[in-house]
Amino acid sequence: MKYWQPKYETMGTDELRQLQFKRLKKTVARVYNNVPFYKKKFDQLGIMPDDIVSVDDAMRLPSTQKNDLRENYPFELFAVPKKDVVRIHASTGTSGKPTVVGYTAGDIDTWSNLMARNLMMVGIRKDDVFQNAVNYGLFTGGLGVHYGAEKLGAMTVPSGTGNTVRQLEMMQDFGVTALHCTPSYALYLAETAEEIDILDKLSLKIGCFGAEPWSSNTRKELEKALNIKAYDSYGLSEMFGPGVAFECEEQDGLHIWSDHYLVEVLDSEGENVAEGEKGELVLTSLTKEALPLIRYHTGDITRLLESECACGRTTQRISRVLGRADDMLIVRGINVFPSQIEDVIAGIPEVTDQFQVVLDRLQHRLDEITVRVELEENAFTGELKDLAEAQKHVENELKKVLNIRTNVELVEKGTIPRTAGKAKKIIDRRSAL
Ligand code: DLL
């Protein structure tokens, strides 16, 4: 069996729309009756739950932004009494209060099944040994993925983060076949594995990486270094956490689970973009009990993909995340996505995949963008002769893709901080002035 929940994963269009409608009605009634924030918004728009007579009516509903969660900190958006909440997670905000998310026992079960579905989709089975090398604290990636792996029946190793050499030893000793972590930590694991010469003693087959953007070049790098097939895993705390969308073995976009989420991709005016066009992913949860969210603006830029997937699953599919609606950098009027920089860096063998972008604004001067990259130890055994040549080369490669002149700072390998969590890739000093 290749599906965890075949009924839902391969549902026909009409049946799926009926199910979505039933779940949408329930969600709308739930928020209207239990969350004052939503009742007020519905009333302002003059919409009553009974006005929703088809799935398409969802587009008339009010939207929710990350800031709404902050402003209703910690529990004001919960649709159930506190006694029915069995767990909370939180994500650290870049500014202000963190956003807190809550789960009923039913939510934990739904989420675990969803996660098991994803893990099964990438080929993980009961007889696999699954290492979950992410933070087990308030971050949803730890317990969220862990419960899914257990539900699936895999032997689950809750290794958490840190102590990278020990992590690799565990991989060897326990015969770990599947790994889940952030792509930046996976790169660090691969680098350390090479250093301590343990790579050929590992039995890894499958890697699931997510929680931050990573390019297809990084994918190739990881697949080669760790001898695995690497899958993209997308999710966000506000929609349970990991498991919202995942690649299948076809790796032709990510399946976004339409029985749990209503999907919209909108332009900056809030209008639907044409299929295949870039826009912001906006999601309505259909099965969440403790914290149902209506038309939640994820801030993630993606594209809806057309046509069916060869794997047989009938869900909608989205492209890999192309950037953030809000982390797109504008430098001298040019839009720069950090993922583009990552792509360029990953394509230059003389430097490692670790990078940082520093943005400065000097008085009376145009914005300066500096990309800090690490030189490989053997950088000068090939075509490049010296530091000056290497610097010029990286600058030129970046210019070709970004259409903007960047300063390149070459640093020694290991200088850019490795993190088991989300890497801090952008240092924007412009706002300080
Ligand atoms: O990062 C949930 C997660 C955990 C996903 C483990 C995958 C694996 P948050 O901390 O709330 O939740 O951050 C959510 O991270 O809106 C995206 O901007 C970004 N993100 C998550 N997965 C990907 C991905 C978790 N595969 C935010 N590619 C999201 C690009 C991603 N960005």
Q: Supply 341's token pair.
A: 């920089």
Position 42 scores a pLDDT of 98
pLDDT at 267: 93
Cβ of residue 285 lying under 6 Å from some atom of ligand 1:
no
Cβ neighbours, 10 Å, residue 310: 10
State residue 328's pLDDT score: 66
More confident residue, 362 or 154: 154
Is 279 near ligand 1, meaning CB less than 6 Å away?
no
Q: Is 140 in the pocket of ligand 1 (CB under 6 A)?
A: yes
Atom number of ligand 1 nearest to Cα 99: 11
DSSP assignment, residue 268? T
236 lines ligand 1 (CB under 6 A): yes
Residue 392 Cα to ligand 1 middle (Å): 34
Report residue 333's pLDDT band, with 50, 70 and 90 as the boundaries.
low
Q: Is the fold of 1-324 the same as that of 329-432?
A: no
Q: What is the pLDDT of residues 385-416, one digit of tens each?
A: 899 999 999 999 999 988 888 999 999 999 99
Q: Token pair of 214, please? A: 């990573």
The response to whether residue 210 sits with its C-beta less than 6 Å from ligand 1 reads yes
Using alpha carbons, select from 111, 142, 66 the residue that is nearest to residue 244: 111
Kindly list the domain boundaries of the chain, sorted by start residue: 1-324, 329-432
pLDDT recorded at residue 92: 61
What CATH homologous superfamily does 1-324 map to? ANL, N-terminal domain (3.40.50.12780)
Q: Is 90 in the pocket of ligand 1 (CB under 6 A)?
A: no
CB 187 within 8 A of CB 159: no
Residues 6+ apart with CB under 8 A from 202: 168, 171, 172, 176, 193, 226, 227
Answer yes or no: are the C-beta atoms of 301 and 323 closer than 8 Å: yes
Closest by CA position to 348, among listed 308, 375, 313: 375
Residue 212 Cβ inside 6 Å of ligand 1? The answer reads yes
Q: What is the pLDDT of residue 95?
A: 41
Instruction: Compute the distance between CA of residue 196 and CA of residue 90 in angstroms, rounded to an integer.
Output: 35
Average pLDDT, the chain: 93
pLDDT in tens, 10-64: 999 999 999 999 999 999 999 999 999 999 999 999 999 999 999 999 999 999 9
Strands 261-266 and 254-256: unpaired
Give dist(CA 108, CA 179) in Å, integer: 22
The span from the CA of 374 to the CA of 403, in Å, is 22
- Smallest CA separation from ligand 1 atom 12, residue: 236
Whole-angstrom Cα Rg for the chain? 22
Question: What's the pLDDT tens digit per position in 52-97?
Answer: 999 999 999 999 998 899 899 999 999 999 999 999 999 864 344 6
362: CA distance to ligand 1 center in Å? 33
Mutate to test the pocket of ligand 1, among 300, 301, 425 (most ligand atoms within 8 A of CB): 300
Nearest to 26 by CA among 256, 292, 262, 258: 292
Element (H, E) at 261: strand 261-266
Q: Does ligand 1 have an atom closer than 6 angstroms to the CB of 183? A: no
255 token code pair? 């399946």
The reply to whether ligand 1 has any atom less than 6 angstroms from the CB of 159 is no
Structure tokens at 66: 């990350």
- Asked if pLDDT for residue 106 goes beyond 90, the answer is yes
- Right CATH number for 329-432 from 3.80.30.20, 3.30.950.10, 3.40.50.850, 3.30.300.30? 3.30.300.30
What are the E-state strand segments in 32-177?
87-91, 99-103, 129-132, 155-157
What's the burial of 389, exposed, middle or buried (CB within 10 Å: 0-12/13-18/19+)? middle
